[in-house]
Amino acid sequence: MRHIYGISPEELSSLLQGQFPAYRTKQILDWLYKKYVFEPDQMTNLPPELKEFLKTGLSWEIPEIDARLVSTDGTIKYRLKLSDGSLIECVMIPDDKKRTLCVSSQVGCSRGCSFCATAALKLKRNLEASEIIAQVMIVARELYPQRLTNLVFMGMGEPMDNLDNVLFALKILQDEQALSFSPRRTTISTCGVVSGIKKLAESGIKTKLAVSLNSAVEEKRSRIMPVSKLYPLNELKQALFYFRRKTNFRITLEYILIPDFNMGIADIKALSRFVDDLSSKINFIPFNPVSGAEWRAPTTAEIDLFMQKAQSIRQAITLRKSRGKDILGACGQLVAQKGENHENSSANRP
């Protein structure tokens, strides 16, 4: 049975056509995406026969908030329990007038990046489009009357490995009859899956692209990111050129700062050569420690020295402040497992 959040507004209209007046579609969509009501019986302006039609013809099951942790910096991490008992995490990051939701696309991940806690889970399964949208709707309801302003597919999983569901979900989320997210406020991230980047470029869905690069030295990148053995840097670069020809958006490159590994002069020079002819911006992100990782976080002095030397790079560069580290909600820390640091605590609620 299809889920209510797994059908587009057009499909909903077709489903009702011939049985109910056309205006009922807008009423249902308003309840779903404007009022954040998840049960037909609570949609007070719908007739009983339409409520019954919706309940019997579609699934309405919504993930349960299994834990809700609030960081000292205002970041909120939600651990959600899906219908099969699987756990995923999404993170809401407030920043002045922006409220960005970091969305998961898979239960676990198969890509094995050594700096990422999710990699330890391995891949359990892909999320359905409805499970992706449900993350957004649950957090949107929690924030109301404030609104989410940005969506980033940077949570658990590799979005390019579940691209069909990610794109279908994004199409609905961008629809004017749903949440009407601007393409400029949505970003799909990848560890560098070239086939996915090309497919995204050809999809017709407009969104920004972020690539986890972390080193422009082939041997180093392959050491921490197995994907580089499948898609070497030269193939990745060509895919990024292809994406740029298909879109107006500048590509974002994410570069995790790992002391004694990718923060030397040679690393900066290699990065500079890689981006020299690519319209991009680079976010430098200090490594966030995860259990079992061989790396450590850089010191403030190491970060300052690196950023001074990185000024030679002829692209826009930014040092991105990690948010939610105290609740394991920062970049690379999502793991969605029961444990001491993840227990549901009402004491953390704002």
Active site residues: 89, 331
Nearest to 265 by CA among 299, 310, 302, 235: 310
Angle between helices 129-143 and 163-174 (to 10 degrees): 40
Q: How far apart are the C-alpha atoms of 32 and 130, rounded to whole Å?
A: 13
The answer to whether 222 and 228 are in contact (CB under 8 A) is: yes
Q: How far apart are the C-alpha atoms of 24 and 274, rounded to whole Å?
A: 53
Q: How far apart are the C-alpha atoms of 5 and 134, rounded to whole Å?
A: 7
Q: What is the DSSP string of 128-184?
A: PHHHHHHHHHHHHHHHTTS---EEEE-SSS-GGGGHHHHHHHHHHHHSTTTT---GG
In what side-by-side order are the strands of the sheet with 98-102?
64-70, 76-81, 87-95, 98-102, 150-153, 186-190, 208-212, 251-257, 280-286, 316-319
**Residue 88: strand pairing partners:** 80
Q: How far apart are the C-alpha atoms of 49 and 63, rounded to whole Å?
A: 26
The answer to whether 72 and 125 are in contact (CB under 8 A) is: no
